[in-house]
Amino acid sequence: MKRNLTRLIALVLILALSLSMFAACGGNGGNADSEQGAEGDVQDPITLHWAFTPPAESADDVWHQKVGKLVEEYTDGLVKYEYYPGGTLGNEKVTLEGVVSGTIHQASISPNVVATVLPEFNILCLPFLFDSVEHFFDVISTDEYYNRMNEAANKVGLQYLGEDFITPRNISTKKPVYTPADAGKQVLRVMDGPIYSDMMEAWGFNSAVISYGEVYTSIQQGVVDGVENSNNGNYVMKFHEVIDYSTNTNHVYHGQACFMNLNLWKSLSQETRDAIQKAWRDIYPIAKAELADLPEYDAQMIRDAGVTVIDLTDEQKQAWIEASQPLYDKYRGIIGEEFYDFAIELIDSKRP
């Protein structure tokens, strides 16, 4: 009953947004509070809706609002945001579909979900691809990366904007896990999208796709044995109360790619588009500097909360890397060989 009520509320909110956009823009997928003229000719100040699944006051929410404030500053108040955290407008699949169709203005969505529509985004989920937070931002801040990701996004009616918050993912369980040999077919909750299920299989785990809001109870009741997640997420969602160990694999540096509806983007003036893109470019060095110590900080938070944090030796980490090789072999074809080779070359070129 609770889940059905939540879905009903989400549908009502999406319908309200759709009607407001239709009234304002002639039904062409524009903005909610401005009158759309010809392409690139928004006439009045606009308020855009930004949807994402992490909860209010989470680190994701904080960093999205930092970008939003830069956009407001750089557009002299022409563009403002209303934020819809916690999956208010639906789960990530729903918000992705909403942005593509134009019923949702803008959303931040996990790359594994984006990859169900744009397989190129699987590249961000390959384990042990990035060495650090700094390495991640050194890659995504390049023009080459932006242009290729945006080229892919445009094919399905999306404008790629960027990624602000980033946090490494780990393995959290009730039993200690040092290498894949310790997995023992434990069942871990994973995010939607096949790459994370494939990852767990390669490492010797079983997996289950469960709504983020149901993970705590699922671990508590023994439905799953643990969760593939960030330590930041573990703390925010209080998973530290139901897990005993966190293995600091730092296997994926996970952010949420942010997209705007492409028709809406084209309706903005070139000056406004330039200002939005500048805000995203300018957030990267700030995020790189401020988030560099985040993995250690988050590990200490759950350690202080009573979780035993396992830091891997070089030999143990190498065991995880070797067990991950089948994913690279499989996903080169899924991603597309030309794009895969481009991305690997770019990522390797930015290693310290």
* Tens digits of residue pLDDT in 275-328: 999 999 999 999 999 999 999 999 999 999 999 999 999 999 999 999 999 999
Q: Which amino acid is at 350?
A: K
Residue 27 amino acid letter: G
pLDDT band at 164 (very low <50, low <70, confident <90, very high): very high
Check if the beta carbon of residue 167 is closer than 8 Å to that of residue 254: yes
Average pLDDT over residues 175-179: 97
Q: What is the dihedral of CA 194, 200, 201, 206, to 10 degrees?
A: -100
Q: Residue 29: left if φ>0, alpha if ψ -120 to 50, beta else—which one?
A: left
DSSP states of 215-254 as a string? HHHHHHTTSSSEEEEEHHHHHHTTGGGT--EEEE----EE
* SS3 category, 106: strand
Q: What is the pLDDT of residue 255?
A: 87
Query: Residue 81 in 3-state DSSP?
Result: strand
**By C-alpha distance, which of 279, 267, 310 is closest to 164?**
279
| Strands 245-248, 166-173: pairing kind | antiparallel
Task: Please state, in angstroms and rounded to a whole number, the distance separating the CA atoms of residues 239 and 25.
Answer: 44
Calpha distance 212→174 (Å, rounded): 18
What is the SS3 assignment for 28?
coil
Check: pTM over 0.85? Answer yes or no: yes
Q: Which long-range contacts (CB under 8 A, 24 or more apart) does 32-38 make?
A: 32/105, 36/267
Report residue 322 as tokens.
């070797």
Structural element, H or E, at residue 325: helix 325-335
Confidence of residue 42 (pLDDT cuts 50, 70, 90): low
In 10 A of CB 349, how many CB atoms? 11
Residue 226 CA from chain centroid, whole number: 21
Strand partners, 109: 257
CA-based R_g, the chain, Å? 20
| Per-residue pLDDT reduced to its tens digit, 128-158 | 999 999 999 999 999 999 999 999 999 999 9
pLDDT tens digit sequence for 43-56 = 568 999 999 999 99
> Residue 117: its pLDDT value, please?
95
Which tens digit of pLDDT belongs to each residue from 248-263? 999 999 889 999 999 9
Please give the pLDDT value at position 3: 44
* Contacts with 3 (C-beta within 8 Å, 6 or more apart), sequence order: none
Q: Apex CA 202: angle with CA 198 and CA 205, to 5°?
A: 85
Handedness of CA 54, 57, 59, 60 (dihedral sign): positive
Q: Which domains are assigned to the chain? A: 2-166+255-291 (3.40.190.170), 168-253+293-349 (3.40.190.170)
pLDDT at position 102 over 90 = yes
Beta strands in the chain (DSSP E): 46-51, 79-84, 106-109, 158-162, 166-173, 187-190, 206-209, 226-230, 245-248, 253-255, 257-261, 308-311
Beta strands in 71-186 (DSSP E): 79-84, 106-109, 158-162, 166-173
On whether the CB atoms of residues 105 and 261 are closer than 8 A, the answer is yes
pLDDT of res. 340: 98
